[in-house]
């Protein structure tokens, strides 16, 4: 019961954020880039429930604009990482031998350093943009999926149904599609559900450090960075973007817990 409640709460939070992002023009008619210096640091008021930033831009409209970027990065990085990680992990696990050893040593090198630090280093030499953020996070995000898939493949390829398929002359592609992928899909989905939350936090961190989305474009991380100098006089500049990050990550993690308990109840 509690497992289902967790999933329902997480799903409701994410659905609300997705709908708010999709219908952002109906929720806030303000231009997220319109500057009104007379409204600088103004507190929340009717029609502008999140208040205004230092340049008099509506925080609600900018927060909704930032949500588009955060969700785009979060899901895009997971999709790319899953594709690369599944391919690499399958090749390593199914081939075995020296090829497996070489691939695993490469992944060990990546795992020796925190992924966010490697992403920071890569973004420091790339031009800040949404595309480059996705590339930087994907460049190191695939490693965890590769090791997960490889461990699953090593176990599955010794199972009777895979051995029988090989004996019948099934192609490697057919074996992967009909016997391996169907059995590793649940583990990948569980890992990916938590990966989206991690990528959203990583994007916010990069933008906060000035290595991600650049002004005047809106990002939750950059909005917090812009408002940190006004915490005492205008805390709403950082409060609302911070809450959106917290609720989004919490919702995704609750959904991930629910998906894990449903697909793998023994874990």
What are the structural domains, with CATH classification, of the chain? 2-30+52-263 (1.10.3720.10)
pLDDT number for residue 70: 93
Global confidence as pTM: 0.90
Sequence-distant (≥ 6) Cβ neighbours of residue 178 within 8 angstroms: 165, 170
pLDDT band (50, 70, 90) for residue 160: confident
Nearest 5°: the CA angle 173, 90, 164 is: 55
Q: Is the peptide bond before 216 cis (omega within 30 degrees of 0)?
A: yes
Strand, coil or helix: 157: coil
pLDDT band (50, 70, 90) for residue 29: confident
Does 1 have pLDDT greater than 80? no
Gap between the Cα atoms of 191 and 122, Å rounded: 24
- Secondary structure percentages of the chain, helix, strand, coil, to 5: 75, 0, 25
Task: List, in sequence order, every residue forming a beta bridge with 45; answer none if it has no partner.
Answer: 48
Does 241 have pLDDT greater than 60? yes
pLDDT band (50, 70, 90) for residue 191: very high
| 81 neighbors 195 (Cβ within 8 angstroms) | yes
pLDDT band (50, 70, 90) for residue 267: low
Sequence-distant (≥ 6) Cβ neighbours of residue 227 within 8 angstroms: 53, 54, 234, 237, 238, 241
Task: List, in sequence order, every residue forming a beta bridge with 58; answer none if it has no partner.
Answer: 52
Query: What mean pLDDT, rounded, does the chain reach?
Result: 90
Does 2 have pLDDT greater than 60? no
């Amino acid at each position: 019961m509690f497992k289902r409640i967790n999933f329902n709460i997480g799903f409701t939070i994410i659905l609300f954020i997705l709908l708010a992002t999709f219908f952002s023009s109906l929720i806030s008619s303000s231009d997220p880039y319109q500057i009104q210096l007379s409204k600088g640091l103004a507190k929340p008021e009717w029609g502008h429930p999140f208040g205004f930033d230092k340049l008099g831009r509506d925080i609600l409209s900018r927060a909704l604009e930032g949500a588009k970027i955060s969700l785009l990065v979060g899901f895009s990085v997971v999709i790319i990482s899953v594709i690369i990680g599944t391919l690499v992990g399958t090749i390593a696990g199914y081939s075995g031998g020296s090829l497996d050893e070489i691939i695993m040593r490469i992944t060990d090198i990546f795992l020796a350093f925190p992924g966010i630090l490697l992403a920071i280093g890569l973004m420091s030499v790339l031009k800040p943009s949404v595309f480059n953020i996705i590339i930087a996070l994907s460049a190191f995000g695939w490693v965890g999926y590769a090791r997960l898939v490889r461990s699953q493949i090593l176990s599955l390829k010794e199972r009777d149904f895979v051995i029988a398929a090989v004996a019948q002359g099934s192609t490697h592609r057919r074996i992967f599609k009909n016997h391996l992928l169907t059995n590793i899909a649940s583990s990948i989905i569980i890992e990916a559900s938590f990966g989206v939350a991690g990528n959203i936090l990583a994007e916010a961190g990069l933008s906060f450090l000035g290595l991600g989305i650049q002004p005047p474009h809106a990002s939750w991380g950059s909005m917090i960075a812009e408002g940190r100098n006004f915490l005492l006089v205008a805390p709403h500049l950082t409060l609302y973007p911070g809450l959106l990050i917290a609720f989004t990550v919490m919702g995704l993690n609750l959904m991930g817990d629910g998906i894990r308990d449903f697909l793998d109840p023994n874990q």
